Amino acid sequence: MTQVTRTDVVIVGAGPVGLFAVFELGLLDLKCHLIDILDRPGGQCAELYPEKPIYDIPAWPVISGQELVDRLMEQIKPFQPQFTFNRMVCALERLEDGSFRVTTDEGEVFEAKVVVIAAGGGSFQPKRPPIPGIEAFEGKSVFYAVRRMEEFRDEDLLIVGGGDSALDWTLNLQPIARRLTLVHRRPEFRAAPDSVNKMLALRDEGKLTFQIGQVTALTGEDGQLTGARVKGPDGEVEIACTRLLPFFGLTMKLGPIANWGLNLHENLIPVDTEKFETSEPGIFAIGDINHYPGKLKLILSGFHEAALMAQAAKRIVHPDQRVVFQYTTSSTSLQKKLGVAG
Amino acid sequence: MTRITFIAPDGTRYDVEAENGSTVMENAIRNGVPGIEAECGGACACATCHVYVDEEWTDTVGAPEAMEEDMLDFAYDVRPNSRLSCQIRVRDELDGLVVTVPERQA
């Protein structure tokens, strides 16, 4: 029997808007569980531009992506949000009693009366390198992540990339692979210098090969890879390999959201501007993922959407309670929830 | 105004007037040049505004900085004249600049 986690609201996406939704829902006594494909909160702010200054957050003349995330985490702490990271929400279905069941790609099950999609540009997924015909090998001999190291034992392994993922897996898989070649387009790496030095030491001991270049073609049959052509500064070479691990960073894809029976408009979810509810009552969409006339993809717009959404979510979760609008500056009950009452 | 020419993958030329201080990427988007995606909006955080700078212009445009080089690792068919167009600022010396949009972005 699968264990079911029950909460008031499941939030799909832990970017800035998903995080702030915890605050607005929390003031109305709604408990939240956030699910995100990344391994930490922050969404694009954490993954794409942690160091970049943002200039249009009200009252912050300048704040970095990571600092904004850190501040939001501090702000929502009193509401004790629960997080499930490294998971993609695969399925969203309505149960007989009108509530929702949310299932992740690892099979975890959540049930809630309200679902808030705050998925930004979609879920971050490994970028497919632009090598013709690579699709035919995916899942059989081309992998974008290492789930089980054993799958690479005694294989002729080709790893492509110059970041931490590429270097870490080079170091971890080298002892069990039959042969390992690392391909990167230039001699400089983005990865931690320590990992690079370890890799170069293994190369000097003859335990792996490092080749400068870009993979241009793959050979093999029925999904089984036999070799890759690498174009380098001194021309093209053929490298024999049975497994390929390309690490080309992440890109955003709408992903399974397209299969949830919601109306879509060019990969965005249309919502009303009173409650930010989708075509399915009880499912809301806020932040960059939604669409309505005049929509601007700004973090501050997402914050506003979260506040209005929370009012509607409250009525669904606690239909018997009267919602009294209150200010955090003057309401003792709100201040108690925030842990700041005098 | 500074004139910039984009050559699309199908060979179509787009001659645009660019304001100094803007980025080459912004001018591609503003003028609907196909093939420039600029997924991250100019933060040097993706590699989807990749262009090839015409050989005659590479010295004037200059070389990418370290962060841009890092991002170019994610681009398709990177060549010595590859640049991310969001990192090239339009200025007087670039009047007449020609860049080619690659067959595909990463």
- Which residues of chain B neighbour A162 with C-beta distances below 8 Å? 70, 73
Was A194 annotated as part of a binding site?
Answer: no
**Percent of residues in chain A assigned helix, strand, coil, to nearest 5:** 30, 30, 45
Q: Are A141 and A223 in contact (CB under 8 A)?
A: yes
Which residue has tokens 């806020």? Answer: A286
Mean pLDDT computed over A279-292: 97
Which residue has tokens 């995916």? Answer: A138
- What range defines the domain where residue A50 resides? 4-125+251-337
Last residue within a domain, chosen from A248, A281, A309: A248
Model pLDDT for residues B3-52, shown as the tens digit of each residue: 999 999 899 999 999 999 999 999 999 999 999 988 877 877 788 999 99
- What range defines the domain where residue B23 resides? 2-100
In this predicted structure, the answer to whether residue A342 has a pLDDT above a threshold of 80 is no
In this predicted structure, the answer to whether residue A95 has a pLDDT above a threshold of 90 is yes
Could you give the number of structural domains in chain A?
Answer: 2
B76 touches chain A (CB under 8 A): yes
Kindly state whether residues A256 and A120 are assigned to the same domain: yes
CATH number of A179's domain: 3.50.50.60
- B106 lies in some domain: no
DSSP 8-class letter at A152: G
Mean pLDDT computed over A64-89: 96
Kindly state whether residues A190 and A81 are assigned to the same domain: no
B65 touches chain A (CB under 8 A): no
CB contact under 8 Å between A127 and B39, yes or no, is no
Kindly state whether residues A81 and A167 are assigned to the same domain: no
Counting residues of chain A whose pLDDT is more than 70, the rounded percentage is: 100
In this predicted structure, the answer to whether residue A1 has a pLDDT above a threshold of 70 is no
Q: Provide the pLDDT for residue B1.
A: 86
- A342 lies in some domain: no
Handedness of CA A86, A289, B40, B103 (dihedral sign): positive
Was A288 annotated as part of a binding site?
Answer: yes
B39 touches chain A (CB under 8 A): yes
Q: Provide the pLDDT for residue B65.
A: 92
Was A105 annotated as part of a binding site?
Answer: no
- A161 lies in some domain: yes
Q: Provide the pLDDT for residue A288.
A: 95
Three-class SS of residue A312? helix
Partner residue opposite B45 with nearest CB, options A49, A188, A190: A49
Q: Of the ranges A37-41, A322-326, B78-82, B84-88, which one carries the lowest mean pLDDT score?
A: A322-326
Kindly report each contact of residues B18-22 with a partner whose C-beta sits within 8 Å and lies 24 or more positions away, as own/partner: B18/B90, B19/B90, B20/B89, B20/B90, B20/B91, B20/B92, B21/B89, B21/B90, B21/B91, B22/B89, B22/B90
Q: Of the ranges A9-18, A214-223, B71-80, which one carries the lowest mean pLDDT score?
A: B71-80
- Which residues of chain B neighbour A163 with C-beta distances below 8 Å? 73
CB contact under 8 Å between B78 and A214, yes or no, is yes
Model confidence band, residue B105 (pLDDT cutoffs 50, 70, 90): confident
Model confidence band, residue A131 (pLDDT cutoffs 50, 70, 90): confident
Mark out the alpha helices in A175-234 (DSSP H runs).
Answer: 193-204
Task: Give the minimum alpha-carbon distance from A249 to chain B in angstroms, rounded to a whole number.
Answer: 7
- Chain A interface, best mutation among B68, B74, B78, B103, by max A CB count within 10 A: B74
Q: Provide the pLDDT for residue A323.
A: 87
Q: What is the ipTM of this complex?
A: 0.80
- B74 lies in some domain: yes
Model pLDDT for residues A69-79, shown as the tens digit of each residue: 999 999 999 99
Q: Of the ranges A126-135, A174-183, A198-207, which one carries the lowest mean pLDDT score?
A: A126-135
Model confidence band, residue A252 (pLDDT cutoffs 50, 70, 90): confident
Q: Provide the pLDDT for residue A124.
A: 85
The per-residue pLDDT of chain A, averaged, comes to: 94
Nearest CA in chain A to B104: A130
Mean pLDDT computed over B71-99: 94
Q: Provide the pLDDT for residue A145.
A: 86
CATH number of B28's domain: 3.10.20.30
Distance between CA atoms of residues A338 and A331, nearest Å: 11
In this predicted structure, the answer to whether residue B74 has a pLDDT above a threshold of 80 is yes
Nearest CA in chain A to B70: A190
Could you give the number of structural domains in chain B?
Answer: 1
Q: Which of A137 and A249 is assigned the larger pLDDT?
A: A137
Mean pLDDT computed over A43-51: 86
